[in-house]
């Protein structure tokens, strides 16, 4: 029912498709939104080089070269610690201490390229990094660097993470990060290196940038395994961008994936097949968008649920599409206003004829049942309509093949996929 949804804002609005005309079954078009997630566990630190003496007086071993360089100033609070190791040496300890004596905890990247603090460094603060390594012959080498971070910048990007602690999502829930203004193309690789995702049980994954750098999605080659634990850290506080801006804050969340609940709609027979944990549990007659306002064909996910809302399309340029209607059991699928919702006025044609303005119309009883079963992140695939789903019109991460999806990564994706990882 209806076009252009005007459902309530999740928190703050991010324009994804300024030039895109979208149709849907809501009360107005809704721009993509981002939600300010909780501050992440930490941020990080970059690198250069410096030295500090170590070894015995009789036979001094060369000191390790630590980055950032000793005496470096105005370093970003996203700086990471790195070290140049002699052949056969292995790091045994890293300490990073602020001028007030407080120790900063951190972890190595999985590839061993740098040590990442667990929390953003403080602005305008002096730090001392000490790295200790053992050589093949048992000799110990050490390197020390004292550096100072920059003052707090005045120009930052706004960012968001749509994933919340202790929530349970559907198997198609992408990790959604959002930025305003968007991340310039030449900065995306550096930003992506600071976006960490860990899954338990482990599953490969990759990032995909969309909408001129305003969003990035993370997903696996297939839907998440039921029961998966997803831990995300978007460590962007203080990261410098080429447009003179800096990342505003770090964000993190740990969430869970629930049971598998998959909806498939075929325009050929106008039925929705609902599968839970691999078993068909219900077949539901539907009415999709009529030819003048067709539903989108593609794979979408439930982004938002409202037990009751009002579709108000009085600002639609077409007088025939203007109305105000109370809607029950509405589940948003696109920013353009396509929903699954109860439509008692079309129950007599559901399963036989398309009469909606782009939404998936179901009976009041079926809508109530679906609403009670679904979670944000549950997938729905619609096929056979006159319109194809537009990239970025909703969380469209799953509307691409895996091969096409990984092409949107700013970093090379190994076969099978993997994102930046901490040890």
- For residue 86, give the CATH number of its domain: 2.60.40.3780
pLDDT in tens, 12-34: 333 333 334 455 666 556 655 54
- Distance in angstroms (rounded) separating the CA atoms of residues 118 and 28: 42
Note whether residue 204 is domain-resident: yes
pLDDT in tens, 273-301: 999 999 999 999 999 999 999 999 999 99
Domain residues for the domain of 290 are 12-32+260-398
Domain count, the chain: 3
Q: Which of 30-44, 209-223, 318-332, 399-413 has the lowest mean pLDDT?
A: 30-44
Q: Are 349 and 225 in the same domain?
A: no
Return the HEC string of the chain: CCCCCCCCCCCEECCCCCCCCCCCCCCCCCCCEECCCCECCCCCCCCCCECCCCCCCCCCCCCCEEECCCCCCCECCCCCEEEECCCCCEEEEEEEEECCCCEECEEEECCCCCEEECCCCCCCCEEEEEEEEECCCCCEEEEEEEEEECCCCCCECEEEEECCCCCEECCCCCEEEEEECCCCHHHHHHHHCCEEEEEECCCCCEEEEEHHHCEEEEECCCCCCCCCEEEEEEECCCCECCCCCECCCEEEEEEEECCCEEEEEECCCCEEEEEECCEEEEEEECECECCCCCCEEEEEECCEEEEEEEEECCCCCCHHHCCEEEEEEEEECCCCCCEEEECHHHCCCCCCCCCECCCEEECHHHHHHHHHHCCCCCEEEEECCCEECCCCCCCCHHHCCHHHHHCCCCCCCCCCCCCCCEC
pLDDT in tens, 287-340: 999 999 999 999 999 999 999 998 766 677 777 666 678 899 999 999 999 999
Domain boundary among 259, 292, 307: 259
Q: Are 381 and 355 in the same domain?
A: yes
Which pLDDT belongs to residue 25? 63
Q: Are 93 and 182 in the same domain?
A: no
Q: Are 78 and 92 in the same domain?
A: yes
| CATH number for position 393 | 2.40.440.10
Q: Are 227 and 239 in the same domain?
A: yes
Which pLDDT belongs to residue 211? 78
Q: Are 184 and 136 in the same domain?
A: no
Whole-model pTM: value is 0.83
Q: Are 236 and 205 in the same domain?
A: yes
Average pLDDT over residues 48-62: 42
Which pLDDT belongs to residue 325? 85
């Amino acid at each position: 029912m209806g076009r252009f949804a005007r459902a309530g804002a999740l928190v703050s609005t991010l324009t994804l498709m300024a030039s895109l005309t979208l149709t849907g079954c809501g009360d107005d078009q809704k721009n993509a939104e981002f939600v300010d997630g909780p501050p992440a566990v930490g941020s990080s630190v970059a690198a250069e080089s410096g030295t500090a003496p170590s070894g015995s007086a009789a036979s001094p071993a060369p000191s390790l070269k630590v980055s950032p360089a000793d005496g470096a100033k105005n370093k970003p609070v996203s700086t990471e610690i790195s070290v140049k190791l002699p052949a056969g040496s292995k790091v045994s300890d890293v300490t990073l201490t602020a001028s007030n004596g407080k120790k900063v905890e951190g972890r190595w990247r999985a590839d061993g390229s740098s040590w990442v603090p667990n929390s953003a460094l403080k602005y305008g603060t002096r730090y001392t990094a000490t790295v200790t390594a053992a050589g093949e012959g048992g000799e110990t080498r050490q390197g020390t660097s004292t550096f100072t971070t920059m003052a707090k910048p005045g120009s930052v990007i706004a960012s968001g993470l749509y994933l919340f602690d202790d929530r349970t999502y559907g198997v198609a829930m992408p990790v959604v990060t959002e930025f305003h203004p968007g991340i310039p193309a030449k900065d995306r690789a550096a930003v992506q290196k600071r976006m960490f995702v860990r899954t338990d049980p482990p599953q490969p994954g990759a990032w995909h940038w969309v909408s001129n750098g305003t969003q990035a999605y993370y997903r696996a080659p297939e839907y998440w395994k039921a029961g998966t634990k997803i831990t995300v850290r978007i460590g962007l506080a203080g990261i410098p961008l080429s447009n003179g801006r800096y990342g505003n804050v770090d964000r993190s969340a740990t969430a869970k994936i629930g049971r598998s609940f998959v909806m498939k709609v075929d325009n050929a027979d106008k039925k929705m097949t609902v599968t839970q944990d691999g078993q068909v549990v219900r077949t539901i007659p539907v009415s999709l968008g009529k030819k003048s306002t067709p539903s989108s064909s593609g794979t979408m996910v439930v982004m938002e649920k409202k037990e009751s809302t009002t579709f108000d399309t009085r600002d639609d340029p077409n007088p025939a599409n203007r109305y105000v209607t109370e809607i029950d059991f509405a589940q948003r699928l696109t920013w353009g206003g396509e929903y699954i919702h109860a439509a008692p006025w079309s129950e007599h044609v559901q399963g036989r004829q398309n009469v909606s303005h782009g939404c998936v119309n179901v009976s009041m009883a079926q809508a109530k049942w679906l609403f009670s079963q679904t979670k944000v992140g549950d997938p729905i695939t619609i096929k056979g309509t006159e319109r194809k789903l537009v990239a970025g019109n909703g969380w469209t991460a799953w509307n691409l093949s895996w091969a096409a999806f990984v092409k949107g990564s700013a970093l090379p994706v190994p076969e099978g996929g993997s994102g930046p990882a901490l040890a």
